[in-house]
Amino acid sequence: MLRAENITWEQGGKTILKGISLHLKQGEWAGLAGPNGAGKSSLLKILAFLEQPTGGRLFFQGELIEGRMPLALRRHLAVVFQDSLLLNTSVYENVAVGLKIRSLPKAVIKERVETWLERFGVLQLLKQPARSLSGGEAQRVNLARAFALEPDVLFLDEPFSALDAPTKAHLLQDLADASKESGVSALMVSHDFRELARLTQRTLIIKDGTTIAELPSAKLLSDYSRAAAADKNTVRHNVFDIEGFQNLHEVFSPIWEEF
């Protein structure tokens, strides 16, 4: 579905990404994790064709993409950021806008908008001004807007980081259900190993702009939990230095200064 080979990216004379390769298969959900400044969001933007790499090659659906991605292919992608970035109009119009740009029939637009608002539990808000919503409601609308496009690949850049724990838990379940129903492939950036274990099959760990490990997301969570229970200070200072990631687990705890 999506393949990156030896991706590098330089900005302002600084190398942000160095030789990263990734293959996202059809229907697969993969995670990106690592400390702040590791290059996770930069890599996601390049893979979503929002930025062009300095070096390396990008393939989408088997086709080498050089330069700017053609609009016809770009419409197979959707991005959900941490901030919902809703327009100053109704909830309905926010979800419908991308479909209208694609010139879909009004009946199709109405069906998709209402279907995905209902699946994310905010159909009753469709006439509300989008900017009057709570943070959790706004992110539900944001996700409904992305899924309504029926993308082949969905990119999520820390979509739950601004939400409280109960809201996050409910939204995680709804997103997990939506992923199964839609069959979409996805790449998600997160600091939270629990989110990654809940939604993704495998996680790439990035540090200083390069991939230092790749392993099943469930194993990442379980290994780190054991290490955290055994010695939190050791984990705190050596989370990215344990050979083979045999001692990792749970969540990037907020007590870790490097995160």
**What are 159-187's pLDDT values in tens digits?**
888 788 888 888 888 999 998 888 899 99
Residue among 118, 120, 252 at smallest CA distance from 189: 252
CA quadruple 207, 212, 216, 222: dihedral sign: negative
pLDDT of 25 higher than 90: yes
pLDDT score at 249 = 39
pLDDT score at 83 = 85
pLDDT score at 212 = 86
Asked if 208 contacts 47 with a C-beta cutoff of 8 angstroms, the reply is: no
pLDDT score at 240 = 41
| The residue to which tokens 């229970």 are assigned | 229
Q: How far apart are CA 106 and CA 115, in angstroms?
A: 14
Q: Is 218 left (phi over 0), alpha (psi -120 to 50) or beta?
A: alpha
Q: Which residues make beta-bridge pairs with 22?
A: 4
Estimate the share of the chain in helix, then strand, then coil, as percent rounded to the nearest 5. Answer: 40, 25, 35
pLDDT score at 252 = 39
**pLDDT tens-place string over residues 105-130:** 999 999 999 999 999 999 999 999 99
> What ranges make up the beta strands (E) of the chain?
2-11, 14-24, 29-33, 55-60, 63-65, 77-80, 153-157, 185-189, 202-207, 210-216
pLDDT of 75 higher than 50: yes
- The average pLDDT across 23-37 equals 91
Asked if 20 contacts 211 with a C-beta cutoff of 8 angstroms, the reply is: yes
pLDDT score at 97 = 94
Structure confidence at residue 233 as a pLDDT band (50, 70, 90): low
Asked if 223 contacts 245 with a C-beta cutoff of 8 angstroms, the reply is: yes
Asked if 155 contacts 200 with a C-beta cutoff of 8 angstroms, the reply is: no
pLDDT averaged over every residue in the chain:
85
pLDDT score at 58 = 94
Structure confidence at residue 227 as a pLDDT band (50, 70, 90): low
Which DSSP state fits 23?
E
Structure confidence at residue 201 as a pLDDT band (50, 70, 90): very high
pLDDT of 237 higher than 70: no
CA quadruple 23, 26, 31, 37: dihedral sign: positive
Please state which of the ranges 151-155, 184-188, 218-222 shows the lowest mean pLDDT: 218-222
Who wins on pLDDT, 114 or 193?
114
What share of the chain in percent tops pLDDT 70? Answer: 87
pLDDT of 242 higher than 80: no
Structure confidence at residue 248 as a pLDDT band (50, 70, 90): very low
What pTM value is reported for the model?
0.84
